[in-house]
Amino acid sequence: MAPSVAQIPDREQTASVVVPVKAVPESGETKPKIRRVIDEEPNTTASYPNYLPTWDHGEKYPPLQPYEHVEHGKGADPTFKDLLPEGSKIQKLTPTIGSEVHGVQLSKLSDAGKDQLALLVAQRKVVAFRDQDFADLPIKDALEIGGYFGRHHIHPTSGAPEGHPEVHIVYRNGSDGEVEAFFANRNSSVQWHSDVSYEQQPPGTTFLYVLDQPEVGGDTAFVNQVEAYNRLSPAIKERLHGLKATHSGVEQADFSKSRGGVVRREPVINEHPIVRTHPATGEKALYVNSGFTRSIVGLKKEESEALLAFLLNHISRGIDYQARIRWAPKTVVVWDNRVTAHSAIFDWTSGERRHLARIQPQAERPYETPYEVESK
Ligand SMILES: [Fe+2]
């Protein structure tokens, strides 16, 4: 039986972010607490201690304001000559999603190369660049590269390197009992989601780079939401056009609060079209995800749950349009968050640290273009 939406336990924050401990103020203390992992691991063996997460309970931001996004992939040179020069190597991981690149240094790209990066990633959905110096740059330099693609998103609940709230940290240090606690109430770690899709302008071209990883395990899975749309019958496609779904950040904020974590910005709920058009490729993607999509606007409860459950199951079981990225030291993965969903995979029990940093510039407000009748 297909699970109802209410039963789907997927929540991004439970998979990828270390859970903050409850702040217990000392008697007479009035200063907001700052939790720093470095204080808990004074002799840390982390390769990049400057990237260890912190949570500042005094840090608050007002609601995000609209901003005009410039899509750099639009009109970029499709020969990719500035991105993939002679001597570099690109290889497809699967026919419709995922490529791996060797021989390119992302930090050295010209603006033309960056434009082509946005287009390549929109086309291939996710691209792994090996042997990068990204993690070794000063954090502000990494942010400057990411900031080319849009306004930095500051995550409402996740940990960040101190002084750099625009960087979202994914961290597991292999502490005792972590695996058992995680699986105490679930069978699988797979939690498909598109990052912060509850925002009015969710992120587009997204960078995730590894700082420490298990020797084996902790891969990230991606699903091609364009191909998920393409697989549907014309009748279902046509019906989905014009429908919107709600995406909610409330549960993520509540989860953080319940664990004594931070909520830097009040949570929001936004409605987005279920079929979204990509501004650079013109491709249509199924824009729902089990992490944040809650209901279909205008449908009754049972109808909304049944249709969403169908769509989310369709996405989650589509291993024929999914790719799995294996991390290696100095890997930077760039994906287009508008046309993919992803899931961390928590499958290692060796106690090794998994530490990654994410930079995610916001993109345009999701929009749809009319259904087009397909020729046979
Ligand atoms: Fe994520």
pLDDT at 22: 39
CA of 193 to the centre of ligand 1 (A): 6
Could you report how far apart the first and last alpha carbons of the chain are, in Å?
33
pLDDT of 10 reads 35
Closest CA to 124 of 104, 149, 106, 97: 97
Q: What percent of the chain has pLDDT over 90?
A: 88
- Number of Cα atoms under 13 Å in the Cβ half of residue 353: 19
Q: What is the CA(342)–ligand 1 centre distance, in A? A: 6
**Contact present, 53 and 18 (Cβ < 8 Å):** yes
**Cα-to-centroid distance, 291 and ligand 1 (Å):** 9
CA atoms within 13 A on the CB side of 213: 24
Percent with pLDDT over 70 in the chain: 92
How far apart CA 360 and CA 204 sit, in angstroms, is 7
* Phi, then psi, of 369 in degrees rounded to 5: -115, 155
* Amino acid 29: pLDDT: 58
Distance 140 CA to ligand 1 centre (A): 22
Note residues around ion ligand 1 (Cβ under 5 angstroms).
195
Rounded distance from Cα 371 to ligand 1 centre (Å): 29
Which pLDDT value is given to residue 31? 72
Return the DSSP state at 214. -
Q: What is the mean pLDDT of residues 61-66?
A: 97
35 CA → ligand 1 middle, Å: 22
Dist. CA 158 → ligand 1 center (Å)? 11
Q: Which of 294, 344, 341 is nearest to 314 (CA)?
A: 341
Average pLDDT over residues 147-171: 97
| C-alpha 191 to ligand 1 mean position (Å) | 9
Q: How many CB atoms lie within 10 A of CB 138?
A: 9
Ligand 1 centroid to Cα of residue 87, in Å, is 32
Neighbours of 279 (CB within 10 A): 18
Which pLDDT does position 90 carry in this prediction?
A: 98
Q: How far is the CA of 234 from the centre of ligand 1 (A)?
A: 30
Residue-averaged pLDDT of the chain: 92
* Exposure string over 246-268, b if 16+ CB within 10 A, otherwise e: bbbbebbbebbeeebbbbbbebb
| Structural domains for the chain | 5-11+80-359 (3.60.130.10)
- The alpha carbon of 31 and the centre of ligand 1 are apart by a number of angstroms equal to 31
CA of 25 to the centre of ligand 1 (A): 31
Ligand 1: distance of its center to the CA of 138 in Å? 23
State yes or no: pLDDT of 212 exceeds 90.
yes
Cα 66 to ligand 1 centre (Å): 22
Report the C-alpha gap between 10 and 5 in whole angstroms: 10
11 alpha carbon to ligand 1 midpoint, in Å? Answer: 9
Neighbours of 235 (CB within 10 A): 8
148/110 Cα distance (integer angstroms): 11
What type of residue sits at position 49? Answer: P
Cα of 245 to ligand 1 centre, how many Å? 19
CA of 3 to the centre of ligand 1 (A): 22
Residue 6: pLDDT band with limits 50, 70, 90: very low
Measure 303 CA to ligand 1 centroid, in angstroms. 28
Given a cut of 60, whether residue 26 has pLDDT beyond it is no
Rounded mean pLDDT, 294-319: 98
Helix (H, G, I), strand (E, B) or coil at 112: helix
CA–CA gap between residue 16 and residue 350 (Å, rounded): 17
State the distance from the centre of ligand 1 to the C-alpha of 12, rounded, in angstroms: 6
E strand residue ranges, the chain: 34-36, 54-56, 89-92, 99-102, 126-129, 167-172, 205-212, 220-224, 244-248, 269-273, 275-277, 284-286, 293-296, 322-325, 332-336, 340-344, 354-359
Model pLDDT for residues 215-249, shown as the tens digit of each residue? 999 999 999 999 999 999 999 999 999 999 999 99
Question: 195 alpha carbon to ligand 1 midpoint, in Å?
Answer: 5
What lies within 8 Å, CB to CB, of 233 at 6+ separation is none
Assigned token pair, 36: 């720093």
More confident residue, 105 or 175: 105
